[in-house]
């Protein structure tokens, strides 16, 4: 039983008493006081991951429009974005509204627009936010054009391009591209440019596959933009990106910006694709051992899918990590252990090699590396951000809902 847990209300007093006597790290005290499960961010690693991506993309003289959908935290935003004018991608209007309220000015809402959401978009634009939207159909283009006319406003639009037959977008060679662009152009709606996302890159596992996905992503928008320009329709910007392709581009001539989101944290899926090492994953879920099943050599932990998410993104990769790999409380991977099962508030840790689970006692804290950082972070209200180098602990709140 930890003394700090017994009297949380007087923790400041305890910290003072202890620090006058022995060298106690503030973060150790803070971490001991936090009930599990919680999200742990290794801040120095988080900063290294951001630096790596910035150097990679800015080395190509291209703007990085980092996706906010993974972090979703205003306290963390200044580490992703140099200033309030920095380009940002969002996945919900709730993110856009929170960022705009905090003074960020340059936002792209990168999910195909539902016409019913245009009043919220207009409201942000009318308050001075440079917010652009995404669409890939004539009906959306007509709805936006009609809305802008009726409301005497302009909403800048990206036309989504399908680079890999993955999800959404217009094929770059399709006649629909010019038809959609013409509806917007004739409706006096600003066409910001063409945008694509190589979602298919998540299925890559070799550098050659990644380079191919990166090239297809890039070439799709360059070709789409050239078709618009040939038709006399302005298309000033070309936007591409996913974390796997963003770390794989050889050349970005013809591209104006890159979007990526999961790289500040990375995760086991990214490690499986080969764009990071497991040791570079900056996010984990801290959990406590609450049981041991001798017959099955199982550990039970207090992190189930409510804390880890139901994401099984590594299930189709060479190494299936279950619901996550297991680290000790200091973040060192314990080889051969993984979370094999998850109920709402229970996780089951098993071993691939007969590791003696009884050696990890009830009450022990462990850290679970996530399959998919976006999904795992999505289960939590906030991050506990730890910097062991400077002995600092911060809490960053997440933006929730839509």
Footprint on this chain of its own copies (rule: CB under 8 A): 1-2, 5-8, 35-38, 69, 91-93, 111-120, 136-137, 139-140, 143, 146-147, 150-151, 167-168, 199, 288-293, 300, 302, 305-307, 309-312, 341, 343-346, 348, 361-363, 374-375, 378-381, 400-402
Nearest residue (CB) to its own copies, 137 versus 256: 137
| 157 phi/psi in degrees, rounded to 5 | -120, 135
Minimum CB separation of residue 29 from its own copies in Å reads 14
State the nearest-atom distance from the C-beta of 44 to its own copies, in Å: 26
Structure-token pair, residue 308: 């880890």
Residue burial 84-102, b: 16+ Cβ < 10 Å; e: rest: eebbbbbbbbebbbbbbee
Q: Which residues of 364-402 are buried (b: 16+ CB within 10 A; e: fewer)?
A: ebbbbbbbbbbbbbebbeebbbbbeeeeebeebebbeee
* Phi, psi at 137, each rounded to 5°: -145, 160
Nearest approach in angstroms of CB 28 to its own copies is 14
Nearest approach in angstroms of CB 53 to its own copies is 19
**CB atoms near residue 205 (< 10 Å):** 13
Q: Which is nearer to its own copies, 205 or 343 (CB)?
A: 343
Nearer to its own copies, 8 or 231 (CB): 8
Please state the closest distance from residue 26 (CB atom) to its own copies, in A. Answer: 19
Strands 157-160 and 191-195: parallel
106 strand-pairing partners = 87, 130
Considering the complex, state which of residue 106 and residue 140 has its C-beta at the smaller distance from its own copies: 140
Nearest CA to 225 out of 195, 252, 197 is that of 195
Q: Which is nearer to its own copies, 115 or 331 (CB)?
A: 115
CA–CA separation, 22 vs 211, rounded Å? 53
* Residue closer to its own copies, measured from CB, 87 or 261: 261
Which is nearer to its own copies, 197 or 256 (by Cβ)? 197
In contact, 124 and 130? CB cutoff 8 Å: no
* Closest distance to its own copies from the beta carbon of 289 (Å): 8
Those residues with Cβ within 8 angstroms of residue 67's Cβ, 6 or more apart along the chain or in another chain:
89, 90, 91, 110, 241, 259, 260, 261
C-beta of 143: minimal distance to its own copies in Å?
7
């Amino acid at each position: 039983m930890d003394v700090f847990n017994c009297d949380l209300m007087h923790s400041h007093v305890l910290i003072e008493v202890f620090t006058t006597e022995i060298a106690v790290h503030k973060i150790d005290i803070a971490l001991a006081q936090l009930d599990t499960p919680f999200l742990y961010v290794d801040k120095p690693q988080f900063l290294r991951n951001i630096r790596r991506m910035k150097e990679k993309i800015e080395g190509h003289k291209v703007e990085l429009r980092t996706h906010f959908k993974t972090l979703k935290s205003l306290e963390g935003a200044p580490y992703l974005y140099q200033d309030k004018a920095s380009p940002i991608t969002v996945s919900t209007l709730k993110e856009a509204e929170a960022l705009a309220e905090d003074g960020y000015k340059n936002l792209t809402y990168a999910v195909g627009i539902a016409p019913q959401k245009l009043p919220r978009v207009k409201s942000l634009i009318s308050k001075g936010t440079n917010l652009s939207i995404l669409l890939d159909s004539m009906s959306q283009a007509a709805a936006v054009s009609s809305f802008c006319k009726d409301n005497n406003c302009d909403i800048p639009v990206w036309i989504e391009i399908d680079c890999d037959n993955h999800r959404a977008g217009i094929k770059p060679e399709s006649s629909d591209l010019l038809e959609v662009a013409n509806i917007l152009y004739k409706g006096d709606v600003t066409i910001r440019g063409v945008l694509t996302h190589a979602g298919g890159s998540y299925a890559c596992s070799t550098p050659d596959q990644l380079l191919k996905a990166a090239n297809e992503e890039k070439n799709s928008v360059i070709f789409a933009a050239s078709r618009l320009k040939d038709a006399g329709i302005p298309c000033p910007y070309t936007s591409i990106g996913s974390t796997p392709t963003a770390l794989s581009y050889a050349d970005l001539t013809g591209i104006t910006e890159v979007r990526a989101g999961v790289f500040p944290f990375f995760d086991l899926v990214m490690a499986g694709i080969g764009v990071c090492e497991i040791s570079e994953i900056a996010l984990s879920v801290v959990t406590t051992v609450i049981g041991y099943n001798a017959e099955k050599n199982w550990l039970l932990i207090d992190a189930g899918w409510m804390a880890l998410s139901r994401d099984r993104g590594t299930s189709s990769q060479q190494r299936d990590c279950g619901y996550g790999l297991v680290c000790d409380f200091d973040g060192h991977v314990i080889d051969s252990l993984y979370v094999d099962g998850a109920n709402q508030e229970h996780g089951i840790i098993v071993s691939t090699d007969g590791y003696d689970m009884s050696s990890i006692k009830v009450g022990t804290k462990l850290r679970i590396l996530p399959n998919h950082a976006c999904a795992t972070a999505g289960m939590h209200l906030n991050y506990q951000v730890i910097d062991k180098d400077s002995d600092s602990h911060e809490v960053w709140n997440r933006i929730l809902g839509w």
